[in-house]
Structure 1
């Protein structure tokens, strides 16, 4: 790498952002605070880098999560104590769901720490490491910088760990160290982001064992889950399907892990809540190759998987499991690549590729019929187009989207495991800003309930500030917390919300180019989806979808009953 720095030294603050810029992380999320202000000055010294300036730290963490799911890494900057703690719910979600995120915290100067000064934003006890310790359990690694001679190496290590392991990392950067100088020549050596190689003998045993199971199977399937997306194995999944011609299914969290236009794609498996055809195809398999599984309750239909076989192979980012045997340290990406090279020669001669389950045809309804969730999710598939980024909120949207069909090269973003309501509004900001940097013609489409929106609505302001005209905001107005009503408290007032005038929000936040639409009937939705101008991402759009209070996708109704039962178990 040729040096682009005329001076022999750069500040540590600039070093941090130059390293991120080298990895195409060009938007920094967060809020200013007095312990990070000098650091934020350095954002503007890096060409093509921007400071998003979010509405609050929690939203900034959600936005960093959404950005990382598009680009593979993101950066969140908060201030000591009050700022970093406000962000931790979002950081915890990124940890749970395998999202690479660098959380940089501006902390008081080293001398202030040494003197144990009674500074603002502290607990008043002289302990400046307490918040760092709080982040330990939701971080892949941490660094609390104090020595300028090793600080660049610590920054590089943390960036690598966040990217390779797809987890958040924590960097505490004292205010007095931001302007200290480090050799600019350090920037000429790229950060090594390559995965370490698997142990050859362990990997060979894995590949041989899996190949033997393949040779014995007459009804095998592939099941794709979240970590296939997070750990960059989509191409390996496609190659495995192509090499074997096995049927392939996804979980809710794995949706978009394989092109749904692939001729061997069979649908989404959610245990007992799957369509009958999908349920039968998966549960009657005599071999299941499960790539990147995260077996949470909502991802499995409240743990209702009912495999008829014990021949299950689990490919994980840092280990393999074959039946009851575990192979620590054998990473799935390399193992899949080696398996793909030879698997076709091991396929059982008796294996006959079966027909994949048929997709449901779009529903039909009279134009004056009130709009329903089932109709919405049936029809929206025809409006989606290749390259869309589709963000679905915990609740009715996350369950409804399972019924839709994604075109090729679509990215789905949801938070099925962590399930923090309001997550998607911030995540949409991050995804939209990432899309601006990659391809501004890519549409970013949010589906969020009226209740969830109220937690993080102010982040729409950031979309407006940055003219994210590639964004569609579908607000599903069903008068409150429908998923909670279905689980418990159908008519309880704690599931009510104050109604908002959603179509006033874009004007309130001073959007420059925007469109407001309200749809209440099947005919109005059909007209909207056939409007070519509406399909063009040339302005921010708010679409209020009017639904009845207890209307929900059928699979959510079933999940709610299961969840209530689990919640009441002794």
Structure 2
């Protein structure tokens, strides 16, 4: 264990050691005078790194992307006030989508706070807890460190609650406490998420027997896998359930690629009325649905058109289960699923549902690039274990109907939907993918309007030598917004950029990147077939020209539904 001497460790290094214990290898942030003492410790630590971003919002997005790819924890480090508020949108998104991100904020010294000094980066009213109140609404837990003797316990409780709830946490460190020595003894005990509910063995046994009976007596049972099954690490058990029973499984948009989409039992991405017709028909023909970790947001459920009647649906969640309209608090999928795998029997052939999860393959497209032909074509480019990021908008909806290869990780922001998220997130995802053994490719699909919000992190990618493959969809503005409202409104227009010149502007060495422009399917197919392009040995930026009012099938339907709901 680094930085421990005579049983003592600095408070700052105590926090770093805890982060390392939960799998963190890189942190993201922007320096400011109140967080620099802590950043000194990060920079000097042999087992944890720091990626300096162009702004705090992007650093928060990067921490989110890093956590999604590692399946563990992301960290963003900001300064008090101006820095932390800039990152707030990213933290709110991680909270919404159940991503574990630690937001560490360097704050003024305890002496200055006690004297209510009017400092820069404050509101000028000596209220040092103003931003804490914001954080409390968008995190699972907060720790405002003020006394060295209680700091270790506060850090541990804050991190453990984050792990339990799969939501971000917020920790402030005053400048004068960063290097104060505290006992390293607690570091010998691994963090354990606090158990909020006592064991309910009788209830669990009752539910398992009833669910197993419903499963085995159903004519056509199915499983729906959603985001929380990923966030709470129960996919291995879900996989065992699928393999033992032979049941058809579907995912939501937020659960896409949870299990291999090449599996013979994969039924497709179910989005209610927005689903592919074959997927919708198969799912809605089921007379028993086991829904695992569902998040019933509008974009995740096809504008609330999921057909999951309570009388034939069981929901398993991280803190409760729902069975035939009854809600059982404290009975979790972590406990129920292993018992269910043991209890349930393999399905009979007559119980199995025929699946057809993807659109029919069209003849090889030619001529100008269209959304309809783009996504099946890029799907042939994907490889096992790729990290694939789709920005909110045409990209996310297009990738939903593209087959993910074995071991692939798919990231998008369906619930929070902050345009620009994918730009910063791809930085964090690429850093995490570089840590993997062997390293993974990172592939981004992002529209021109979205990229203008977070394009600065392209320079950070060059600086830290990560090598994503970026498909920039140039459709001349905010196409998703045009479909929802105002197709010809000027507020959905953007200034055209010379995208292929940006890496030069950002100072990337000429041998560190390659840029391409493609306007036809023939040009795109030739590029995708080039082994050098697919090797990911440098940043590849591909500007793909698509019509302004061309959009994926699912996006058009979702936009119509969203417009109706908004009205």
Pairwise TM-score range, normalised by the shorter structure = over 0.9
Equivalent position to 2:389, from 388, 391, 394: 391
* Offset from partner CA, 1:407-465 (integer Å, 9 cap, x none): 01000000000000000011101111111122363001111100000001001111111
Separation of aligned partners in 1, 2:85 and 2:175: 18
Counterpart for residue 343 of structure 2? 342
CA drift at 1:323: 2.1
Aligned residues of 2:59 and 2:87 also touching (Cα < 8 A): yes
Counterpart for residue 486 of structure 2? 489
Counterpart for residue 415 of structure 1? 413
Q: Does 1:443 align with 2:448?
A: no
Aligned residues of 2:358 and 2:401 also touching (Cα < 8 A): no
> Which secondary structure does the structure 2 equivalent of 1:105 belong to?
strand
Counterpart for residue 261 of structure 2? 260
CA shift in 2, pair 1:359/1:133, >3 Å: closer
Separation of aligned partners in 2, 1:281 and 1:313: 18
CA shift in 2, pair 1:559/1:145, >3 Å: same
Counterpart for residue 64 of structure 1? 63
CA drift at 1:309: 6.9
Deviates more, 1:67-76 or 1:84-93: 67-76
Counterpart for residue 229 of structure 1? 230
Separation of aligned partners in 2, 1:351 and 1:123: 67
* Offset from partner CA, 1:241-298 (integer Å, 9 cap, x none): 1121111111111101111011100111111111111111111110001111011111
CA shift in 2, pair 1:4/1:36, >3 Å: closer
- In structure 2, stretches of 5+ residues that fail to align are none
Aligned residues of 1:132 and 1:172 also touching (Cα < 8 A): no
* Offset from partner CA, 1:294-329 (integer Å, 9 cap, x none): 111111111112346721011111111112011111
Counterpart for residue 457 of structure 1? 455
CA drift at 1:195: 6.3
RMSD: 1.7
Q: Does 1:527 align with 2:530?
A: no
Counterpart for residue 277 of structure 1? 278
> Which secondary structure does the structure 1 equivalent of 2:351 belong to?
coil
TM-score (norm 1): 0.96
Aligned residues of 1:9 and 1:184 also touching (Cα < 8 A): yes
Aligned length: 563
Separation of aligned partners in 1, 2:356 and 2:19: 44
Separation of aligned partners in 1, 2:564 and 2:435: 46
Counterpart for residue 54 of structure 2? 55
Deviates more, 1:447-456 or 1:234-243: 234-243
Separation of aligned partners in 1, 2:308 and 2:454: 39
- In the TM superposition, 1:360-379 aligns within 5 A as 360-365=359-364, 367=366, 369-379=367-377
> Which secondary structure does the structure 2 equivalent of 1:344 belong to?
coil
CA drift at 1:174: 1.0
CA drift at 1:22: 2.3
> Which secondary structure does the structure 1 equivalent of 2:295 belong to?
coil
- In structure 1, stretches of 5+ residues that fail to align are none
Deviates more, 1:251-260 or 1:354-363: 354-363
> Which secondary structure does the structure 2 equivalent of 1:266 belong to?
strand
Q: Does 1:114 align with 2:118?
A: no
* Offset from partner CA, 1:108-161 (integer Å, 9 cap, x none): 111111111111111111111111111101110111111111101211222222
Aligned residues of 2:276 and 2:359 also touching (Cα < 8 A): no
Separation of aligned partners in 2, 1:105 and 1:366: 51
Q: Does 1:250 align with 2:251?
A: yes
CA drift at 1:502: 0.6
Separation of aligned partners in 2, 1:401 and 1:38: 43
* Offset from partner CA, 1:71-112 (integer Å, 9 cap, x none): 211111111111111111100000000001111111111111
> Which secondary structure does the structure 1 equivalent of 2:344 belong to?
helix
Separation of aligned partners in 1, 2:413 and 2:382: 20
CA drift at 1:206: 1.9
Deviates more, 1:387-396 or 1:68-77: 68-77
Aligned residues of 2:248 and 2:266 also touching (Cα < 8 A): yes
Aligned residues of 1:145 and 1:173 also touching (Cα < 8 A): yes
> Which secondary structure does the structure 1 equivalent of 2:419 belong to?
coil
Separation of aligned partners in 2, 1:89 and 1:483: 20
TM-score (norm 2): 0.96
Aligned residues of 1:224 and 1:248 also touching (Cα < 8 A): yes
Separation of aligned partners in 2, 1:364 and 1:510: 42
Separation of aligned partners in 2, 1:142 and 1:491: 45
Separation of aligned partners in 2, 1:414 and 1:262: 22
* Offset from partner CA, 1:483-515 (integer Å, 9 cap, x none): 111111111111000000110112222223111
Separation of aligned partners in 1, 2:131 and 2:328: 35
Separation of aligned partners in 2, 1:152 and 1:434: 28
Separation of aligned partners in 1, 2:525 and 2:414: 29
CA drift at 1:365: 4.2
- In the TM superposition, 1:96-495 aligns within 5 A as 96-193=96-193, 198-307=199-308, 310-344=311-345, 351-357=350-356, 359-365=358-364, 367=366, 369-439=367-437, 441-469=439-467, 471-495=468-492
CA drift at 1:50: 1.3
> Which secondary structure does the structure 2 equivalent of 1:43 belong to?
helix
* Offset from partner CA, 1:7-29 (integer Å, 9 cap, x none): 43221111111221222201111
